[in-house]
Amino acid sequence: MAITATADTRKRVSPVRRAGFPARLCAAVALGSVGVHAWMAWEHRAMPWEGALMLLMAAACLPCAVFVWRRGHERSVQLLFVMALAMVAVHAVLLLAPGSTAGRGHGGMDPMGAMGTMGGSMAGVVMQPAPMLGVIALELAVAMLAAWAMRRSRACGGQPA
């Protein structure tokens, strides 16, 4: 007796679940991004608003990443896509804004010590944009993988899992 998939069972399987690998990879990279944001919140604990912003970004991303990993809901993949692009925009603004403090303290220089000898100005501090660019690249990877998962789920729309 052979067991075959019926049209009814195909409807119950999420299209993103059928996408398989891209959805799982997207969720894994998004979970890595959550970890990076938590680490950055710890690194920015001297600036409470920056630390809170990093924790907020991580908290916003975590539920969708978990849902995509466990169940592969298409709505969760779409939310990851939108949130990743929003985080790219936020990080780009933080990096490119006039008076940006992106990278402060990431180049081996103590943030408080950098201001101590300059009379309160940041004139002598060399900005280190590499960590912020790394986060932007990570978020772009999440967006790209989410787009791949959405594209693959549409391509697999009528095929069994």
Confidence of residue 108 (pLDDT cuts 50, 70, 90): very low
From residue 123, alpha-carbon distances to 105, 114, 117, 130, 151 in Å are: 14, 9, 10, 19, 48
Per-residue pLDDT for 110 more than 50?
A: no
- Measuring CA to CA, which residue among 15, 30, 14, 9 is closest to residue 152? 15
Q: With pLDDT > 70 as the criterion, what percentage of the chain qualifies?
A: 65
Helices vs strands, H then E, count in the chain: 7, 0
* Residue 130 pLDDT: 84
Cα R_g (the chain), whole angstroms: 21
Q: What does pTM read for this prediction?
A: 0.67
Mean pLDDT of 63-90: 87
* Residue 115 pLDDT: 43
pLDDT tens digits for range 25-55 = 999 999 999 999 899 888 888 888 888 988 9
Per-residue pLDDT for 19 more than 80?
A: no
* Residue 97 pLDDT: 80
* Residue 2 pLDDT: 56
Q: Tell me the two tokens of residue 127.
A: 């900005």
pLDDT tens digits for range 116-160 = 444 444 443 344 688 889 989 999 999 999 999 888 877 666 443
